[in-house]
């Protein structure tokens, strides 16, 4: 009887493990390889990816590269070893994406690129924001405000994301086109390296020291806005130097109406993440795929923020009410 019980228990274990294995094999799995998940923009994009993946029956593993090329390659290699059904990639920069796409092609695993872009290589779809147009529109908002405050004879400093990135180049191009059209000059550009508070603070102080005529700073990101504001304050320039940003933080919903922040060019990362999953799902199910999807960037100021709140909460901040 004891031997029979033991055999029966072993049989049950075998059935259970076989069932779990079968379920695991049948589960569709995606990987999201992202430059740095600690940056709110990417974290919100991952929410959009997970939201749409859940609706379509996929599991998602997120790999943050912490903005390190070596870690990015290791993360990407791990996704290939795990034989995921597809990869969504937000690379560190456009050049690093080229090598990763070669690895994916060799492993025959489809890749959708969500933002940043690539210098070359094969991919299923590229989800991006219209960075040049968004930067141009936010530049015009700044121009309007500078003229309103009679600051148009001053210059504008730029703290940029890396210009190796295709989106970084597009942002700078669009913004310079806007301010130059009004005869406003750039006070210089500093490229972010570690995206830290300290870096933003020091770049802002340096721009202020080196450019006595500077009347505004454009930060090509959002989460380190406090570094810029603190530097402006410490240099006794509060109220004299305007600040605008790219992307958004929840605090901007109060800062823009109050005038502490002139405006922000808001991408829609939650929606971008959803679109990335939709396209990889289309590919895996032999449906038509959009090779390039470019979403609008919202130029938000105190004049239009109230009307855009619903879209901002969901698509920009990833807050589903």
In whole angstroms, how far apart are CA 25 and each of 20, 75, 77, 83, 111?
A: 9, 22, 20, 11, 20
Predicted confidence at residue 4, as pLDDT, reads: 44
Q: Are 124 and 146 contained in the same domain?
A: no
CA–CA separation, 84 vs 60, rounded Å? 9
Q: For 69-114, write each residue's pLDDT tens digit.
A: 999 999 999 999 998 999 999 999 889 999 999 999 999 999 999 9
Q: What is the DSSP string of 65-123?
A: -TT-HHHHHHHHHHHHHTT-SEEEEE-SSTTHHHHHHHHHHHHT--EEEESS--SS---
Is 308 a member of any domain? no
Which of 130-134, 167-171, 259-263 has the weakest average pLDDT?
Answer: 167-171
Confidence of residue 213 (pLDDT cuts 50, 70, 90): very high
Q: Are 82 and 123 contained in the same domain?
A: yes
Q: Are 250 and 143 contained in the same domain?
A: yes
3-class SS at 215? strand
- Tracing tokens 């147009």 back to the chain, one arrives at 133
Q: Are 97 and 152 contained in the same domain?
A: no
* Count, residues in the chain: 321
Predicted confidence at residue 26, as pLDDT, reads: 59
Is 18 a member of any domain? no
Torsion, Cα of 252, 248, 61, 52 (10° steps): 90
Q: Are 116 and 219 contained in the same domain?
A: no
Q: For 17-66, write each residue's pLDDT tens digit.
A: 444 433 444 579 999 999 999 988 999 999 999 999 999 999 999 999 99
Pairing state between β 292-295 and 242-246: unpaired
CATH code of the domain in which 207 resides: 3.40.50.2300
Give yes or no for residue 167 having a pLDDT over 50.
Answer: yes
Confidence of residue 149 (pLDDT cuts 50, 70, 90): very high
3-class SS at 126? strand
Contact 264, 300 (CB under 8 A): yes
Phi-psi region of 288 (alpha: psi -120 to 50; beta: other; left: phi over 0): beta
Q: What is the DSSP string of 263-293?
A: EEEE--HHHHHHHHHHHHHHHHTT----SEE
Q: Are 37 and 86 contained in the same domain?
A: yes
Predicted confidence at residue 23, as pLDDT, reads: 40
Can you give the pTM of this predicted structure? 0.83
Is 191 a member of any domain? yes
Contact 151, 242 (CB under 8 A): yes
- Tracing tokens 């530097």 back to the chain, one arrives at 231
Is 45 a member of any domain? yes
Where is pLDDT greater, at 195 or 155? 155
Is 314 a member of any domain? no
Give yes or no for residue 196 having a pLDDT over 60.
Answer: yes
Give yes or no for residue 3 having a pLDDT over 90.
Answer: no
Q: Are 173 and 254 contained in the same domain?
A: yes
3-class SS at 206? helix
Give yes or no for residue 244 having a pLDDT over 60.
Answer: yes
Give yes or no for residue 205 having a pLDDT over 70.
Answer: yes
Q: Are 167 and 233 contained in the same domain?
A: yes
Q: Give me the domain span that covers residue 280.
A: 27-129+269-295
Q: Are 125 and 273 contained in the same domain?
A: yes
3-class SS at 177? helix
Confidence of residue 195 (pLDDT cuts 50, 70, 90): confident
Q: For 45-59, write each residue's pLDDT tens digit.
A: 999 999 999 999 999
Predicted confidence at residue 13, as pLDDT, reads: 37
Q: Are 41 and 166 contained in the same domain?
A: no
DSSP state of 34: E
Residue 51, class by beta-carbon neighbours within 10 Å (0-12 exposed, 13-18 middle, 19+ buried)?
middle
Q: Are 237 and 114 contained in the same domain?
A: no
CA–CA separation, 204 vs 209, rounded Å? 9
Q: Are 138 and 262 contained in the same domain?
A: yes
Give yes or no for residue 8 having a pLDDT over 50.
Answer: no
Average pLDDT, the chain: 91
Predicted confidence at residue 161, as pLDDT, reads: 92
Is 175 a member of any domain? yes
Count of domains for the chain: 2
How large a percentage of the chain has pLDDT more than 70?
92
Query: What number is the average pLDDT over the span 240-251?
Result: 95
């Amino acid at each position: 009887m004891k031997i029979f019980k033991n055999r029966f228990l072993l049989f049950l274990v075998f059935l259970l493990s076989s069932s779990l294995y079968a379920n695991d094999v049948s589960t569709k799995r995606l990987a999201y390889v992202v430059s740095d998940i600690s940056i709110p923009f990417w974290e919100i994009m991952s929410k959009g990816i997970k939201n749409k993946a859940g609706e379509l029956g996929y599991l998602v593993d997120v790999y943050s590269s912490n903005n390190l090329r070596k870690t990015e390659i290791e993360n990407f290699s791990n996704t290939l070893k795990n034989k995921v059904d597809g990869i969504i990639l937000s690379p560190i920069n456009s050049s690093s994406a080229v090598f990763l796409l070669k690895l994916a092609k060799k492993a025959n695993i489809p890749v959708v690129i969500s933002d940043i872009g690539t210098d070359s290589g094969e991919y299923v779809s590229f989800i991006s924001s219209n960075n040049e147009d968004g930067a141009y529109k936010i530049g015009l908002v700044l121009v309007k405000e500078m003229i309103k405050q009679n600051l148009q004879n001053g210059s504008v400093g730029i703290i940029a994301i890396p210009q190796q990135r295709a989106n970084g180049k597009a942002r700078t191009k669009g913004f310079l086109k806007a301010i130059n059209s009004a005869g406003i000059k750039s006070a210089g550009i500093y490229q972010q390296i570690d995206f830290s508070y300290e870096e933003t603070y020091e770049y802002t102080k340096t721009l202020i020291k080196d450019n006595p005529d500077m009347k505004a700073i454009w930060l090509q990101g959002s989460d380190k806005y406090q570094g810029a504001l603190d530097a402006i304050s410490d240099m006794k320039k509060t109220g004299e130097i305007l600040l605008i940003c790219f992307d958004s933080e929840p605090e901007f919903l109060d800062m823009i109406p109050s005038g502490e922040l002139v405006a922000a060019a808001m991408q829609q990362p939650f929606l971008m993440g959803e679109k990335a999953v939709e396209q990889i799902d289309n590919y895996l199910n032999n449906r038509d795929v959009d090779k390039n999807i470019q979403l609008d960037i919202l130029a938000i100021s105190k004049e239009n923020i109230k009307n855009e709140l619903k879209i901002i909460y969901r698509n920009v901040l990833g807050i589903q009410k």
